[in-house]
Amino acid sequence: MHDPRARLAEQQRALLSALVAGAAPPEGFDAERLRIQAGSLIAKRRGLVAVARPEVVEALGGAFAREFHAYASGRPKPQGGSRADAAAFADWLRGRGLLDLEPQQKRHWWRLTSKRDQSR
């Protein structure tokens, strides 16, 4: 690979894969520091999922952090942001028999209230 931009792009892909998808650390990176950073990214995702689906946190109790870590390790955040991540996590839990809650219905009331508030 002679093109510096292509080489940089490949290095960035490798780093991103190590941080969010459980890939091996790229050459020249400290594996322990990447492990710590990957854990921080999972914790950030966990916090956003907890806000999006508090009923899942309540249902899991003290197992929430452990189960989310098991779900998120080696699994990048899905397209669609934190709400999609929260839905995928709940589906993952249901598939493992750890969650009895029904899938969350999409709520559109916030759109109605935000439009109403903007017209005032």
Q: Is-above-0.75 flag for pTM?
A: yes
φ, ψ for residue 14, nearest 5 deg: -65, -40
Per-residue pLDDT reduced to its tens digit, 85-117: 999 999 999 999 999 877 765 554 444 454 545
pLDDT band at 118 (very low <50, low <70, confident <90, very high): low
What per-residue confidence (pLDDT) applies to 2? Answer: 77
Tokens of 25: 């650390």
Instruction: Report long-range pairs for 117-120 (Cβ below 8 Å, ≥24 apart).
Output: none
Residue 32: which domain range?
4-118
Count of domains observed in the chain:
1
